[in-house]
Chain A
Amino acid sequence: MWRVARLVAAKDLRIEWRSRVVTNQVVPFAVLVLVMFAFALDVESVLQRVAPGLVWLAVMFSQFFLVQRAFAVETSDGALDALRVAGVDPAGVFLGKALALMAQLASLVILLLVGAVLLYRAEIRADGLVLLVTAACSATAGLAAVGTLYGGLTAGAKGRETLLPLLLAPVVAPVLIAAARATEAALGTAGTALGDGWPWVGVLATFAVAFGVVGTVAFGPLIEE
């Protein structure tokens, strides 16, 4: 299973490296979303206060594109079918794609946090760094797992792609809440204490583990016809 996961993750990342879809399309979109929030919300003090939430909102919207891209790669030439026929371990495929997705999401999160610092005057403090990194890692792991799972469900036949945001948005809501609160605690936004963030990291970790395990088991049956 892990051998297959490594193969699939390496393949996905290599494809991304060649095609640069994430760097050339998704990242600009995410940054644009940050800018548009500024247009919509206008007041600078408000922006600074809600910066953590906006960052994770932008991550969530970008996640839809990343997941759809991850599976468009598979379905454009029937590769997902070929993976099924080849008897490749679906749990390995799930883990591989989730890991690749996690890497892409992680780089996006870093970029968006930088963007928040630049655009919203968010301030990252040194003692909040551990909390921030831990929260971001668990959040991206959870988003990657759940995205890969639901992406597999909606991949393939026509008319299913539009279903992805509808299915995914309610599911990632806990991640949105938890990641935003944890980030607020890490940045000290509105005087939130550092210690307040750790329960949220617990929620994120539970989410990531739960969907990591569930996804590994459920991905195979879900992609079958």
Chain B
Amino acid sequence: MAVTTQPVQTERPATGRVTATGTRVTRWLAVACWLGAGWLLLAGLVLSPPDVVQGDSVRIMYAHVPSAWIAYLAFVVTAVSSAAYLWPRTRSLTWDRIAGASAEVGVLFMGITLVTGMLWGRITWGVFWQWDPRLTTTAFLFVTFAGYLAVRGLGGSHEQRARRSAILGLLAVVEIPLVHFSVVLWRSLHQEASVLNPNGDVQLDGFMLFTLFTGVLVFTLFYLWLVLHRQRVLWLQDHHDDSGLDEALSARRAEEGTP
């Protein structure tokens, strides 16, 4: 008795057999990243002057401030991609993959921000941790995104994962400002000596400012490079799952023979 089904339509990725996630764009990006990193190291460690107050330990700033910037950028990108996924007109799993890739890279940079912040504090003022709003909010961002990544790993179909993570991503948009504002209000209760505040009073002269901007630019390039690669890997994973479905379907139908 023939089983009445229609021939299964399979999707083939336009690129056919994909063996790597690199393209011309990412190669140029990579070159720019590493050249920029080289320049940043030179400028940050050698060429720029030490600070009047802090001495050489101010150089950690060239890593700390840009990675904090990237942490927030990654968060914003994840939030925007989550919204784009949930909006019916622009619903596409690409947004979900961008959100996921951005979150992963973001968590990395959040970690770097926290570690460099702690080192800076320790070296300059002898304390590992200040309850200042930026560091505290970054810590919360870190934990929130660790939770986000855990939820992404819960399994289910691609659409389920996408919907669940997108909602969670947008919830973070509500939470993080609330956390930040609460911490700001909280710390305003305590009069803190401003010299202890790592954000505050580093005198940024011309070249230091330039190096700082270079740092931001280089880190942004790294972020773009990593996210591009990562979201392609996620795309490959999703397509692998989908093509696995066809095989599973044929295996399932073949079960009919077995009692």
Q: What residues of chain A have their CB less than 8 Å away from a CB belonging to chain B?
A: 149, 153, 157, 159-160, 163, 166-167, 169-171, 173-174, 177-178, 181, 196, 199-200, 203, 206-207, 210-211, 214, 218, 221-222, 224-225
B residues within 8 A CB of A170? 140, 143-144, 147, 175, 179
Is B167 touching A206 in the complex (CB atoms < 8 A)? no
User: Given that A167-B147, A218-B167 are known contacts, is A225 also in contact with B156, CB under 8 Å in the complex?
Assistant: yes
Assembled-state Cα–Cα distance A166/B175 (Å): 14
Instruction: Tell me which of A166, A169, A171, A200 has the highest count of chain B C-beta atoms within 10 A of its own C-beta.
Output: A171
B196 in contact (CB, < 8 A): no
Q: List residues of B whose CB falls within 8 A of some A CB.
A: 140, 143-144, 146-147, 150-151, 154-156, 160, 163-164, 167-168, 170-171, 174-175, 178-179, 181-183, 185-186, 189
B186 engages A177 (CB within 8 Å):
yes
Query: Is B171 touching A218 in the complex (CB atoms < 8 A)?
Result: yes
Q: Within the complex, which residue of A163, A178, A206 is in contact with B147, where a contact is CB–CB below 8 Å?
A: A163
Give the complex CA separation of A210 and B167 in angstroms.
14
CB distance from B54 to the nearest CB of A (A): 30
Q: Check if A210 sits within 8 Å of B174, measured CB to CB.
A: yes
Contact yes or no, B182 A153, CB < 8 A: no
Q: Would you give 24 A-B contacts (Cβ < 8 Å), ordered by A?
A: A153-B151, A153-B168, A157-B155, A159-B154, A166-B143, A166-B146, A166-B150, A167-B150, A167-B168, A169-B143, A170-B147, A170-B175, A171-B175, A174-B178, A177-B182, A203-B178, A210-B174, A210-B178, A214-B174, A218-B170, A218-B171, A224-B160, A225-B156, A225-B160
Q: Contact check: which of B154, B168, B179 meets A174 at CB < 8 Å?
A: B179
Query: Within the assembled complex, what's the spacing in Å between the Cα atoms of A205 and B181?
Result: 14
Asked if A163 and B150 sit within 8 Å, CB to CB, the answer is: yes
Contacts of B163 in A (CB 8 A): 221, 224
Shortest beta-carbon contacts, A-B, top 3: A174-B182, A167-B147, A174-B178
| Besides the known contacts A199-B185, A221-B163, 12 further A-B residue pairs in the complex with CB atoms under 8 A apart | A149-B171, A153-B168, A157-B154, A163-B150, A163-B154, A166-B146, A167-B151, A170-B147, A181-B186, A210-B178, A214-B171, A224-B160
- Min Cβ gap A73→B in Å is 22
Which residues of the partner chain B approach A218 to less than 8 Å between Cβ atoms? 167, 170-171
